[in-house]
Chain A
Amino acid sequence: MLNKHFINIPADLKKWHCFKFIIIIYLVISFSQFSFAQHITDTLRIKPILIYTQSMVKEEAGRTSTKIDSVSMIKSLTSSLSDLISQNTPIFMKDYGRGAMATASFRGTAPSHTQVTWNGIPLSSPMLGMVDFSTIPVYFTDNVNLLHGSGSLSELSGALGGIVKLENTADWQKKFSIRLLSGTGSYGTYDEFIKLTTGNSKIQSQTRAFYNYSNNDYPFVNKLIANLDPITGKYLYPTQRNLNSQYCNYGLLQEFYVHPTNKTIVTVRYWYQHNNRSLPRLLSNETDINANINIQSENAHRVVGEYKYYGNKGTFDLHVGSNIQLSTYLLRNKVSGNADQIVTNSHSNSATYLFKANYVFQFNKNLSLSTSANSIANTVNSVNSPSNSSSTGYDVNRLDHSISLQLSKSFNDRLSANLMAREEIIGGKSVPLIPSLGVEYRPFKTANIYYKGSIARNYHQPTLNDLYYIPGGNPKLKAEEGIMADLGTGYSGFTGNLSFHTSLSAYISEINNWIIWLPTPQGYWEPYNMKRVNTGGVEINAGIKGKLGITSLNVNGNYAYTSSVNRDDPRNWADESVGKQLPFIPKNSANLVVNLSRSDFHLTWLWNYYSERYTTSSNDKTSRFDVLYPYIMNNLYIGREFRLFKGTFDIELKILNLFNESYRTVLQNPMPGRNYSLLFRYDF
């Protein structure tokens, strides 16, 4: 009876949000269609249109991919990769707060199912199998590409959701250039970045460095705790600051590109980064001020060497690299009269060493064979030494090998297909064959319309923490096995001064032995295999780019419907989790970026939406903490560009949380209200 009060208002809200959401999606799609229709009509009336038709790449037939455009990359230079991705792709980022950890859910999967590679090197920690997207600066990447679902198998296995590929490239035309960026923002936030490029058509060097710091101490009214007024007994909600949540990151990226002959390119890249942050208290926390003092620190060294040879009949490339991560986490309580009580004092050294060779042989322009072999050595040494106890931890190495063959054929200008098989040996044990098939068909020669589909099997191995962490590691865990299928269509082209693109893809996958960590009565957590999770959904992307009169326009929007359903066996009569959406995965998500520029002025509006997220496996809606309300965020950037000292100077004001929303993205962490950032950029 009492619980009724919790759901009345949100139910109404939900109806409105659903209704509004449907209207928005309808308008976005119909607006883009309307634009196309109008231009086609105009074109027919005035003059023949030019249709840009991308040639079909047979090796990529059937793959669903997303490339974040260069304008969005520039606009997000001071952002983390989590902000860039959540704003420009259908991936849902679970954000634990400003400057805090952000993990990805790609197509309704778990964070460890989204792999991240940097110029071919896996960035995922072999301990956790996932990447904290909040720690990767957009400064340090030139291209961000997504390979959805089965498309990820062209790179590596185990990405049941997909892959985020980060790449750096050289501009062989540049002699010398410099980019300086300096920003200052609310809550004592500072961003500094420099990029130096020098070289010629034979050798190029790029050096980038960044520094990013924030006190992150934004104010908020805490309504999850209350003091009683000693006279009236009424609640007094404290106004607090988001204390102990400062972060400081800095890094250096050095790239050398050498072009010794017309057919070869040699590249060496080194990326060092330091991340340091504290994790704030939960809203309900009322501990001693000397308790819960924590600091999380990480030093990462990543190096990759690449050799690429372009032969008459084929392309060979070789990658050798490593990703070394040294992480510490210290959680202590100060106790007067006693030594500090160390709750957690963990030191984790993990390293991934990669050797990878690819060769693509073109029998003729319609037939190719791609071969790939790679070996990955993972090592982890993890030790936790709390007060008054012996250390616990593990020290494990695992060697993984993989070979793949892919036959790609263009049957004619309109139909291509590829068939791939991958064989892996993980830690000395052979994994069943991983096959994939992709097909792409373009019905018209002059219109860039395509239909594509793919089907694949995939395996995700347990991480080393899953297997060996103490306490709880479960060496009996099975690998997660996924079977996935994609169907997609798209249309792109341009008319007059506007280009446009739309795409729609639908997917289903069945993932057996899904790994989940759960508590135990002994007080620690332990991973185990769920029987099955079924995911499925739809991804829609639409965009327009070009000129409307003297105004330049660049609009891009995404919508994703994501179903991620537990198909485990019920544990007993009371288990209500079977057939329900997995916790914290929104069914609907959408984003829209509008860039407008006119003479020297530019304006960017970013809008982002996630529908409600359940916090329980049973999708209960009886208490306040069972559901996170829908997330709607608006940001606005306004700037002006000047010519200065033979270069370009840009000043931009960013208004984040435009409508000063009071909100949370997880249950117990407050988010900041409207805040500002002022950026100066100079390009020479």
Chain B
Amino acid sequence: MQINLHKTYLVVLILLLFEGCMKDNTWVLNQQNKPSLNKGVFIINEGNFMYGNSSLSFYNTATKKVQNDLFYAVNNLPLGDVAQSMIIYQNLGYIVINNSGKIYVVDSSNGKYVGKITGLTSPRYIHIINNEKAYISDLYAGKITIVNPLTYQIKGFIRTSGHASTEQMVQSNNLLFVTCWSFDNTILVIDTNTDAIIDSIKTGKQPGGLVLDKFNKIWTLCDGGWSKAGASIRTPVLQCVNPLNRTIEKSFSLTSDAAPSRLAINRTSDTLLFINNGVWKFGVTEPKPVNQPFLKTGNHLWYSLGADPLSTDIYLGDAIDYQQRGVIYRYSSQGAVIDSFKTGIIPGSFCFK
């Protein structure tokens, strides 16, 4: 009797163990939703580097409702690894996925995946010139990729010899200004008619953000590079470039312990905003920056900033601990919280619709 029981135990145990299967495909969605995305803002959540858990959220400013994980829910595909930025052109949303080397193109009215630009190296931003030409900057390629924004085909490259990284872009007439951020101190000037680099402007260390003000002046925020542990060698600086003569007109140094990022400009293009622990405001005609932040950090970890071009609202992304869903705070131009909502992991940038 005991022997039989003994054997039964063994058989049941072995059968149970052999049954194991991990069912990698059981997460596949059976139903696709096509939400209606009206007026609002897309939040591009970076996700964690190498996890591939970046995501897209949409906040409807009229209904104050947020839809998270929008891209996956609609398309049954992950967005990829480190979603960097997004723009909308002719109702198409171009989402740049930095560490996946691609740009997903979606219908901006419902998030549906309609195409992609692949074969990039480490894309950061896309700037569309016209229906036939767009430029894609790249962190590690040493070139700007020229693509057709409607057929998604790569048309060519602008080599940026001596400059490994290209970052943000703004256009003034037929000239495109692009920052060279990583370990660099340059703004390149490209003629969009000929795709040729016609000039370069030396800036402070690591120019990242780039915006155009209402006087057609270009502002760049240089983060000063990286500090050597224990030594203050950083020189963060906010600089104004005249696009006509391509010289630096104004330069405002920040303190050496500053870590500025996320340069934005308000709806009327007369006030700059950036993060430096807190959020700082700077009128483009002011003689020098104020010495108090517009919004203090408090217990937030401000990671992203966006200024709504259709209202005076300011959006701030709190990454909390970078390992959970962040929170977006919507502020009035006077600094009062209007709304807040949870979004994806590391909300990194905004695209207003």
Contact = CB atoms under 8 A, between A and B. Distances in A.
Given A5-B30, A27-B16, A667-B53, A335 B122 contact: no
Contacts of A524: 226
Contacts of B327: 574
Most buried by B among A228, A386, A468, A625: A625
B18 A634 contact: yes
Interface in A609-631: 609, 615-618, 620, 622-626, 629-631
A34 B78 contact: no
Contacts of A57: none
A1 B13 CA distance: 40
A567 interface: no
Contact of B101 (A286, A392, A394): A286
Contacts of A388: 142, 162-164, 183-184
B69 interface: yes
A224 B52 contact: yes
Most buried by B among A30, A574, A576, A618: A574
B13 A24 contact: yes
B102 interface: yes
A228 B76 CA distance: 13
Given A27-B16, A31-B13, A333-B141, A283 B52 contact: yes
Contacts of A74: none
Given A284-B80, A287-B102, A388-B164, A34 B9 contact: yes
Contact of B22 (A6, A470, A663): A663
B19 interface: yes
Interface of B: 2, 5-6, 9-10, 12-13, 16-31, 33, 35, 47-53, 55, 67-70, 72-74, 76-81, 97, 99-102, 113-116, 118-122, 140-143, 157, 159, 161-164, 182-184, 223, 226-230, 259, 261-262, 275, 298-303, 318-327, 340, 342, 345-346
Nearest to B345: A616
A291 B121 contact: yes
A286 B298 CA distance: 40
Interface in A86-109: none
B53 A13 contact: no
A200 interface: no
Contacts of B301: 571
Contacts of A9: 26-27
Nearest to B68: A3
Most buried by B among A6, A30, A524: A6
Most buried by A among B182, B318, B320, B324: B324
B183 A341 contact: no
Given A31-B9, A287-B102, A341-B141, A663 B26 contact: no
Contacts of B29: 5-6
Given A10-B27, A287-B121, A618-B325, A20 B142 contact: no
A571 B23 contact: no
Most buried by A among B26, B100, B159, B298: B100
25 contacts: A3-B68, A3-B69, A13-B26, A31-B13, A285-B81, A286-B101, A287-B102, A337-B159, A338-B161, A388-B162, A388-B164, A389-B183, A392-B226, A471-B227, A473-B229, A475-B229, A519-B322, A521-B275, A522-B261, A574-B326, A626-B53, A632-B22, A634-B17, A663-B24, A668-B52
Contacts of A270: none
Contacts of A470: 226, 228-229
Contact of A2 (B33, B143, B303): B33
Interface in A258-306: 282-289, 291-292
Chief secondary structure at chain A's binding surface: loop
A223 interface: yes
Q: What class of interface size applies to chain A in its complex with B?
A: 35 or more
A137 B302 CA distance: 46
A338 B142 contact: yes
A664 B23 CA distance: 10
A607 interface: yes
A387 interface: yes
A23 B9 CA distance: 11
A153 interface: no
B22 A286 contact: no
B19 to A, nearest CB: 7
Interface string A337-366: 111010100000000000000000000000
A2 B69 contact: yes
5 closest residue pairs by CB, A with B: A287-B101, A389-B183, A632-B20, A471-B226, A2-B73
Contact of B143 (A283, A335, A468): A335
Given A392-B226, A475-B229, 15 more contacts: A1-B33, A2-B33, A2-B67, A2-B73, A5-B30, A31-B13, A34-B9, A235-B76, A291-B101, A341-B164, A473-B229, A518-B321, A572-B318, A617-B323, A659-B20
Nearest to A390: B183
A582 B27 CA distance: 23
Given A3-B73, A282-B99, A575-B320, A24 B17 contact: yes
A585 interface: no
A625 B262 contact: no
Contacts of A386: 164, 183
A394 B228 CA distance: 9
Nearest to B49: A519
A557 B161 CA distance: 60
A661 interface: yes
A284 B157 CA distance: 24
Interface string A10-46: 1001000000100110011011001100100000000
Contacts of A634: 17-18, 20
A387 B79 CA distance: 29
Contacts of A519: 49, 319, 322, 346
A622 B72 CA distance: 12
A282 B184 contact: no
Contacts of B318: 572, 574
B184 to A, nearest CB: 7
A276 to B, nearest CB: 21
A24 B327 CA distance: 42
B340 to A, nearest CB: 8
Contact of A27 (B12, B35, B47, B162): B12
B17 A592 contact: yes
A662 B121 contact: no
B23 A572 contact: no
Contacts of B223: 522
Contacts of A341: 121, 140-142, 164
B142 A576 contact: no
A583 interface: yes
A602 B245 CA distance: 83
Contact of A5 (B31, B164, B184): B31
Contact of A286 (B5, B20, B116): B116
A593 to B, nearest CB: 12
Contact of A30 (B9, B47, B48, B261): B9
Contacts of B35: 2
Nearest to B183: A389
A341 to B, nearest CB: 5
Given A223-B28, A630-B22, A668-B81, A577 B324 contact: yes
A30 B69 CA distance: 45
A389 B20 contact: no
Given A575-B320, A623-B55, A663-B24, A616 B30 contact: no
A98 to B, nearest CB: 16
Given A288-B121, A387-B142, A632-B20, A623 B72 contact: yes
Contact of A335 (B76, B142, B322, B342): B142
A388 B321 CA distance: 33
B81 A28 contact: no
A3 B70 CA distance: 9
Interface in A202-249: 223-226, 228, 235
A127 interface: no
A559 to B, nearest CB: 13
Contact of A629 (B23, B50, B119, B140): B23
